[in-house]
Chain A
Amino acid sequence: MTRDLVVVGASWGGLDAIRTVLHGLPDDLPAAVVIVQHRSPVAHPQTLLGLLAAATPLAVVDPADKQKLERGQVYVSPPDYHTYVEGDHLALSTDDPVAFSRPSIDVLFESAAESRGPACVGVILTGANADGARGLARIVELGGAAVVEDPASAERSEMPRAALQAVHGALVAPIGGIAAIVGNLCARAGVTA
């Protein structure tokens, strides 16, 4: 089983952290990347998209419902919708916020784990809440890989710390080292489940 789906969750301080990760990913990343960054429901979706696109040669996409996932593309969860992974595509919904968040990192991660199992790499970055911890545990439970930003150097440590409490054996690195880990996990073709 190849790892070809990377899901990323970030909250407080996430913009710089995500830009750093995207910047470090290989141009020929053999995986689709889906990002949840907590933000205001009325945030203009294009602002974050533009800032992220400037950091990477990978295509940064504002996804629509049922959008097909393609390798080498970065999908940014739109404000005020949950983003689910359903097999080979994304599904959006206006279900109630989960733990005050829509989009919710847990919703993305759990659906990714449940529909893609060992193909998933879950990445938790800086944040001041515990969103994503359950989702990351679900990814690991179903055979996926977990990567967590080192709480010691994260802008906010609460979210990475909660993630590390929920899973054992996550790969931990300061923000500058996350991209290389993700790149390696996805490049190791032929990893068997």
Chain B
Amino acid sequence: MGRKPKADEELVFNKLELFRTKAKMSRQQLADAVNVHYQTIGYIERNEYSPSLVLALRIAKALNKKVEQIFSLEEN
């Protein structure tokens, strides 16, 4: 019963910070582009939050990358 404990939730790894800085975008600029709070970008970059598919697609579009280039199930 209830939700999975946080430790059991599957993490999605990402290279968001790398691609964002390469694109010379600040957190705020990317946040504005994908319509979220700038701290949400920070939570995603630190792997503290796994974005929804829609948000992942929006981020990929804003950075002109494919989703799988930014997000993955394995840390690499």
Q: Do A and B come from one complex?
A: no
**Chain B residues within CB distance 8 Å of chain A:** none
**Chain A residues within CB distance 8 Å of chain B:** none
